[in-house]
Structure 1
Amino acid sequence: MTVNQILSVKGNNVFSIVSTISVYEGLKVMGEKNVGALLVIDDNEIVGILSERDYARKIVLKDKTSKGTLVKDIMGTGIITVKPTDDINFCMGLMSGKRIRHLPVVDNGSVLGVVSIGDIVKAVIEDQQEIIHHLDSYINGTQI
């Protein structure tokens, strides 16, 4: 299964903010869109990701305020992207190895979507269930 197959089911909505808004404003967008992370895009380039985890670790635990801190001061940088043709096992390896939860999907400089660790796990489970079904059919002689 590929990233493109996940996006075809999930959709390719990309929610983003700019780095110069307050963390509070970014959190409001997360709440409105019901997502746990947002791409940070400045001048049509991904410069970071703002996640709930960033807020918890870099604002709350450091006694900062979300209204007095800019997104660029706490966002995750060094963004790793994937292509729509990448395999989900490759994505899982990246996420596990780099300890990240979101991968922007980029093709020819355009952001096509974002896949999360939840999307990848769901796809792997569905893939395994299909394999189990085929093996069960084969073993029981009901395979067509």
Structure 2
Amino acid sequence: MTVNQILSTKGKEVYSVLSTITVYEALGVMSEKNIGAILIIEDTELKGILSERDYARKIALKAKSSKKTFVYEIMEKEVVTVKPSDSLDYCMELMDSKRVRHLPVSENNTVIGIISISDVVKAIIEMQKATIKHLDSYISQ
């Protein structure tokens, strides 16, 4: 299974904010959209990603104010991306080695979607269920 197959199931909606808004405003968007990370896209270029983990470690634990801190101050600027043709195994390895839970999907230097560790795990479980069903059917014959 590939990243594109996950996107075809979950959709390709991408939520983004500008780096010049406050972390508090970005958290509001994340809460409204019920997402754990949001992309920072400016002039169609991916500039960074902000996750709940960034907020917890860079704002809450350091007793900073999310209303006085701007996204560009704490966002992750080195964003790990994948292509639609990449395999789920590759995504799992990447998420593990880079210690990230969200992977923007990029094609021709444009973000066309985002997948999370949850999306990948769900897809793998579904593939395993299908394999088990197929094997069970084969054994029963």
TM-score, structure 2 as length reference: 0.98
Q: Per the alignment, in what secondary structure is the counterpart of residue 62 of structure 1?
A: coil
Distance 1:53 1:111 in 2: 22
Q: What per-residue deviation string (whole Å, max 9, x for no partner) do you get for residues 71-121 of structure 1?
A: 011111211111111111110110011110000001011111000000000
Aligned length: 141
* 2:18 match: 18
* 1:94 match: 94
Calculate the aligned-residue CA RMSD, in Å. 0.7
Q: What per-residue deviation string (whole Å, max 9, x for no partner) do you get for residues 52-71 of structure 1?
A: 11111100100100000000
Residue 43 of structure 1: how far off its partner (Å) = 2.2
TM-score, structure 1 as length reference: 0.96
Letter in 2 for 1:69: T
For structure 2, the residue ranges without an aligned partner over 5 or more in a row are none
Q: Per the alignment, in what secondary structure is the counterpart of residue 122 of structure 1?
A: helix
Distance 2:96 2:134 in 1: 29
User: After TM superposition, where is structure 1 displaced by more than 6 Å over at least 4 residues in a row?
Assistant: none
Matched, 1:115 2:112: no
Matched, 1:59 2:48: no
Which range moves more in the overlay, 40-49 or 82-91?
Answer: 40-49
- Percent identity between the aligned chains? 61
